[in-house]
Structure 1
């Protein structure tokens, strides 16, 4: 009883103490918004006299509790924006509300921010990565498309190929043997090799569980991104990862479907400290699926932890890790027999659609680790320092397969056995300024970039006996035992190679008037190829350069420029734009006269219109581009053992990208891409023709969904969409053509989305239409997927 009385007395005294404390202290709360009223997450708010700091949450809210009565200075700071000091008077027992809206010129922060909006949720275009500056879409003279996580979730996209369906001109993705995915962009092969704006290549499958959005940046973009990230003259794909936010929450989901598809994903976010300046988020997934074909499977697991820390009101740190491990069998890669004067379609070859010709014990395993660290420091109101370290590693072990045509009815299976490793390191230092010269605003980025690439190969290529693919024996099977027994007779590749790139770049966006902006950018790039070290012979050479000549280690210097103009016909609503951009790729080799080659270049001229009208309900871009590639290597007509560097290629076309929200609940995403590509000066066999593997010349994509915005069934929705492309080529020469037929792939979904849970069901390729990628990989027929997620 005495103990019980003591505890009771303590509780009473504690209650009186809390009441006394509450009556003698006060609270400060408020909301930070951008110029358009949208909430601004992750803004730094500091109570200067107490040296207390916090971050705004996803709704832009912040709170300081238990503050002693007096007048304080409240400092609001967003990187790349002018800081704001406000006087706040705290009264005992009261809550003081202090809201703040950023001024017009500071619409976007340098770091990623979360924008909560119910209007046109599929059109979140603002990005700090496209121009490496806080630049709005309507101010940017470059075209880019953005696929948001909301659209990814609604479409139940479980791989990057499904996400890319929403990018105009992407086409059917090409899946490489390690699960790596490649798209088309303006007639060129393009890979998702950028992550948060810097090099983040992964030579394996990339799980989308950690993706906030995918940005398709169009056109040659070497000026700001270099060749280490920009995978083609058509542009690059940037994977923006999910960042920690100020609050506790998360989601766990299960998806199951056709061909024993099973997938679990998780997303957990929490503040680490009481001030909520240290935040942690963990995303991850594990998947298993059998192939729709007779044999084949994939099995993967990914983990993506991220940590952010607002160290002071001027200094912030972001650490982001991406780890993936997988095992699977190679997809079908068919290289048909090419006879002279033959025009044929993959449909007419009678190549089996549902057969792999391999075995499940011929599997590969991959491991991928990407580390990204970014340190932002506010030097002054006008200048910010951004330091970035990115390191990407991919390893591949096991068996990689291909099917090479020998005659019109036979193939020779080929298996690569062994280990391949890729390591890339990217170090960047950017200084970002936002200041005025007179009355003219300047937004400037000055950057230093170091990129190191190191690759190693320890593998052997084995050729298996020919087999008839039309009348294949029922007992036919290529086993692991058979491949291993033949490996001693295969072609051996044991080598290391690598290169270093040193670059400096500068870009300035200059406001001539409030509506007229000019962009000027320049990059100087020094490339040093270290050569190929043959472990067997102990000799370092350049590998086979142009014409099969040993080029040896070499160095090249390249200049890349970017210029653009934007005129906002209707301020913050409609803008006209034009750009002139450059890209380049280093080329090795020696000409017949002993001279070395220079980098290959491409120049793009583009113009169009961007719009964001009817209170953000209609957002879109219409553009015309003309890309001219020069200094292309082609066979020397006087000596087939060498090359000459005078080849040219043309790629021009029109792109349309639209998202619309005509009325509450209805969302529309649509795109159209027309591309006219051809060799304008090349080897006689292909001159004047469309390059093979460039994809269809006309591609359409659309997605329409409706979700009940109110009522008893609020959150119930339907979605329907599709992708269509005309015929294209796997091979296209004047003597031989392999045609890939036109396709139309339709998808549909139904879902019920509630604050605490979500249920969905989707069918991909409703009509089970047969379609092929540019590598002649058959695409899956109708696939059913159901999902259930719990939110907390």
Structure 2
């Protein structure tokens, strides 16, 4: 009996040791902000509760960890429900207002006060379900608004330097169809194409003034989002600022090196007496010059948004972003992809990177509009309906030019070609989601079932490209056209609109229009087998209808594919440690091809399956020491198959046999080791190779869009939490990458861009209503380059100052 009694006592003591409980507190007031006594405060589906005292204060202790709903009720006032989460912490709901017949705009979701300001533990966009990161089998990075403010971010490319494994390949050129720049992630090129989980396109850069956070999903993500907005490496989702209950806002002015001037505004208020209709406006005007001898960008941005809560079951939201931008397109040096260049690296090139090889007369305009409407309706206690509609329109008008080394003239001579752009892309998307959280027996199911229709239309009415002289990287120039037999030594190619228009007058004008539609259905279920063990199952049915050139029926085709997803997650310590593994899928639609020997008669059309990418990944996530340490470590293996290649047995046939693999590991850390100190760090290692292809130029070589093998980033921010120096702070960090291929072909050899590490630092003072800060980018004036079969010099040392007033 003694051993048995000892075991029982140990079990009881263990249960007490591992029991995870917290405390809830708050103050209930009326519309006049007076404390309400005697208000009933109950945690639904439990026996825990309390009543407010004479000041309206309440406190509930010994609450087990988990998600709960607090019901606040009193005679003469409308009952209010507030969701909150306990995770071994003290949750302060602060002030809760009860209205006599009024309702607040939306439910308030409280997760306790988080000191770790560089991470976010919960989002509804990543999985289309409100899952915590510790419950999600997919890896993603979140760049918070606090991190953007601490680094005084003024452009989108700089913001993404905080995402582990993301490397800039090609900044936005402004050219039609190019989008908002290209980035490398897990060995593949990606672009930011999602806004609040819906398609949102642009031909220019994304304005950071309206960004609440940026979410970077890792790995193929077609099951929930389709292939139009994602790549095999992942996807980028921009979450915008939204209306909130109350009145307030801020004004901000930023100035800095190279003619940077930016003013931004943010204003939020109720539009009616009932305070169930709220309006928010974010706006920005910015101008900036290039560090080179020519080049600039200016933009005006406005983002209105509305939230309307009809009742406790029905609400509507509207979001818009309107941008008017004008810029000179950045001039990359395009390396020859089929013949060796004279130079093998930057040193050999003798590049004067202060030269822009353009003028401020030759500009591009990039007007962009994105609109979204959302309707949320609570069908029952376990199901809700979400209807989403988005429209986007982006255009490019003006002059685009590029420099290309054709390898004909030698001596690293780059020929300039230019045209006049007149491009348009418009998209429409309609989604209907049904989201459930229910139990089947003892098994909890969190389910999303959705339908999606996506349509994209593009028109092109630009001119053809015309030769417009040559340049050399050190600044030489001549007029010898590489495609004519006569040698012409002239430099009469002035970079003015009049001279360029005269040359382009002889070029044909395009009149093309293309379109495609995608019809999809998808479902995903997070099934809790136990409190510690869950699985995620997802499937998408996708039908692609390519209209192609609307005036040509021959290029029409359609394809249907299934995209599955599976994940398993085990939490040895709930909400603290998660061990996960996943299988994720992506795909690319493949156009039919003509096959057959022409000498044997007419060729025939051969259709193909969509190209497939499959990822296997496993790793661990931690959220420990009272949310002060968040870490994710993962290993992934992505295999791309079914690429269309020439049949080795017949040069007149095509087969699906091309393959690429990409594997590696990532480490991301967000820490709050002491009050006021926040640290973010990341490291990524990637190994990519084309393992099977009919193109011997790339076979067994690292793809150019794979970027650098090693990338890393870190940023630490310390704000004095108390005392005479309270509010003063300092920030410092760095980001960098190993050397990378700008060119990597069998016949051309390699052109390597050197490794780099760039350091940054900031000083600031944060008061109750204002913030003053200065930031030094590229503190040691490092000369470095990026590119994707191109060479693009990056900005040297720059000083930025900011003042922000909040109200």
The TM-score with structure 2 as length reference comes to 0.84
Alpha-carbon shift at residue 712 of structure 1 (Å)? 1.6
Contact 2:83 2:110 in 1 (8 A): no
Contact 1:619 1:659 in 2 (8 A): yes
Report the equivalent of 1:435.
438
What per-residue deviation string (whole Å, max 9, x for no partner) do you get for residues 368-389 of structure 1?
Answer: 1000111100000010000000
What per-residue deviation string (whole Å, max 9, x for no partner) do you get for residues 24-49 of structure 1?
Answer: xxxxxxxxxxx97799xxxxxxxxxx
Report the equivalent of 1:787.
802
Report the equivalent of 2:709.
697
Alpha-carbon shift at residue 96 of structure 1 (Å)? 12
Alpha-carbon shift at residue 276 of structure 1 (Å)? 2.2
Report the equivalent of 1:315.
314
Alpha-carbon shift at residue 147 of structure 1 (Å)? 0.4
Aligned-partner Cα distance in 1 for 2:733–2:37: 59
- Pair 1:558-2:561 in alignment: yes
Q: Taking structure 1 as reference, are residues 250 and 471 closer, same or farther at Cα in structure 2, changes over 3 Å only?
A: closer
Matched residue SS, 1:124 = coil
- Pair 1:371-2:371 in alignment: yes
Name whichever of 466-475 and 325-334 sits farther off.
Answer: 466-475
Contact 1:359 1:477 in 2 (8 A): no
Please show how residues 50-449 of structure 1 align to structure 2 within 5 Å. 63-64=30-31, 87-89=73-75, 102=84, 117-172=113-168, 174-178=170-174, 180-230=180-230, 232-337=231-336, 340=339, 344-406=344-406, 407-449=410-452
Alpha-carbon shift at residue 301 of structure 1 (Å)? 0.7
Report the equivalent of 2:645.
634
Report the equivalent of 1:6.
none
Report the equivalent of 2:497.
480
Q: Taking structure 1 as reference, are residues 377 and 347 closer, same or farther at Cα in structure 2, changes over 3 Å only?
A: farther
Runs of 4+ in 1 over 6 A off after TM superposition: 35-39, 59-62, 69-77, 81-84, 95-99, 109-112, 638-642
Aligned-partner Cα distance in 1 for 2:110–2:355: 46
Alpha-carbon shift at residue 633 of structure 1 (Å)? 2.4
Contact 1:358 1:479 in 2 (8 A): no
Q: Taking structure 1 as reference, are residues 268 and 750 closer, same or farther at Cα in structure 2, changes over 3 Å only?
A: same
Alpha-carbon shift at residue 339 of structure 1 (Å)? 6.7
Alpha-carbon shift at residue 65 of structure 1 (Å)? 5.5
Name whichever of 671-680 and 173-182 sits farther off.
Answer: 173-182
Q: Taking structure 1 as reference, are residues 790 and 341 closer, same or farther at Cα in structure 2, changes over 3 Å only?
A: closer
Name whichever of 632-641 and 687-696 sits farther off.
Answer: 632-641
Q: Taking structure 1 as reference, are residues 153 and 618 closer, same or farther at Cα in structure 2, changes over 3 Å only?
A: same
Q: Taking structure 1 as reference, are residues 350 and 573 closer, same or farther at Cα in structure 2, changes over 3 Å only?
A: same
Contact 1:463 1:490 in 2 (8 A): no
Q: Taking structure 1 as reference, are residues 177 and 254 closer, same or farther at Cα in structure 2, changes over 3 Å only?
A: same
Matched residue SS, 1:489 = coil
Alpha-carbon shift at residue 347 of structure 1 (Å)? 3.5
Matched residue SS, 2:698 = coil
What per-residue deviation string (whole Å, max 9, x for no partner) do you get for residues 703-729 of structure 1?
Answer: 012111111221111111111100111
Matched residue SS, 2:461 = strand
Report the equivalent of 1:510.
527
Please show how residues 23-38 of structure 1 align to structure 2 within 5 Å. none
Alpha-carbon shift at residue 611 of structure 1 (Å)? 0.4
Please show how residues 753-772 of structure 1 align to structure 2 within 5 Å. 753-772=766-785
Report the equivalent of 2:685.
674
Report the equivalent of 1:46.
none
RMSD: 2.9
Q: Taking structure 1 as reference, are residues 293 and 641 closer, same or farther at Cα in structure 2, changes over 3 Å only?
A: farther
The TM-score with structure 1 as length reference comes to 0.85
Aligned-partner Cα distance in 1 for 2:518–2:769: 49
Report the equivalent of 2:49.
none
Aligned-partner Cα distance in 2 for 1:304–1:126: 25
- Pair 1:525-2:521 in alignment: no
Aligned-partner Cα distance in 1 for 2:355–2:24: 53
Report the equivalent of 2:662.
651
Contact 2:69 2:82 in 1 (8 A): no
Contact 2:169 2:705 in 1 (8 A): no
Matched residue SS, 1:693 = helix
Q: Which runs of 5+ in 1 are unaligned?
A: 1-34, 40-58, 534-538, 543-551
Q: Taking structure 1 as reference, are residues 75 and 345 closer, same or farther at Cα in structure 2, changes over 3 Å only?
A: same
Aligned-partner Cα distance in 1 for 2:732–2:350: 32
Aligned-partner Cα distance in 2 for 1:652–1:525: 27
Alpha-carbon shift at residue 340 of structure 1 (Å)? 4.5
Contact 1:528 1:556 in 2 (8 A): yes
Contact 2:263 2:284 in 1 (8 A): yes
Report the equivalent of 1:568.
571
Aligned-partner Cα distance in 2 for 1:337–1:522: 42
What per-residue deviation string (whole Å, max 9, x for no partner) do you get for residues 641-690 of structure 1?
Answer: 77432100000000111100101111110000000010010122211110
Report the equivalent of 2:629.
618
Alpha-carbon shift at residue 777 of structure 1 (Å)? 1.4
Alpha-carbon shift at residue 338 of structure 1 (Å)? 5.2
Q: Taking structure 1 as reference, are residues 118 and 247 closer, same or farther at Cα in structure 2, changes over 3 Å only?
A: same
Q: Give the counterpart of 1:464 among 456, 464, 468.
A: 468
Report the equivalent of 2:758.
745
What per-residue deviation string (whole Å, max 9, x for no partner) do you get for residues 322-381 of structure 1?
Answer: 111100100012112357566711332123211121111110101010001111000000
Q: Taking structure 1 as reference, are residues 184 and 338 closer, same or farther at Cα in structure 2, changes over 3 Å only?
A: closer
Contact 1:211 1:242 in 2 (8 A): yes
Aligned-partner Cα distance in 2 for 1:36–1:306: 36
Matched residue SS, 2:381 = coil
Aligned-partner Cα distance in 2 for 1:591–1:76: 67
Q: Taking structure 1 as reference, are residues 601 and 97 closer, same or farther at Cα in structure 2, changes over 3 Å only?
A: closer
Contact 1:332 1:776 in 2 (8 A): no
Matched residue SS, 2:228 = helix
Report the equivalent of 1:540.
552
Q: Taking structure 1 as reference, are residues 509 and 85 closer, same or farther at Cα in structure 2, changes over 3 Å only?
A: same
Alpha-carbon shift at residue 597 of structure 1 (Å)? 2.0
What per-residue deviation string (whole Å, max 9, x for no partner) do you get for residues 171-195 of structure 1?
Answer: 2352121182221110111111011
Aligned-partner Cα distance in 2 for 1:97–1:647: 62
Report the equivalent of 1:685.
697
Aligned-partner Cα distance in 2 for 1:369–1:37: 46
Matched residue SS, 1:151 = helix
Contact 1:38 1:115 in 2 (8 A): no
Q: Taking structure 1 as reference, are residues 341 and 353 closer, same or farther at Cα in structure 2, changes over 3 Å only?
A: closer
Alpha-carbon shift at residue 101 of structure 1 (Å)? 5.7
Aligned-partner Cα distance in 1 for 2:429–2:300: 25
Name whichever of 556-565 and 710-719 sits farther off.
Answer: 710-719
Contact 1:693 1:729 in 2 (8 A): no
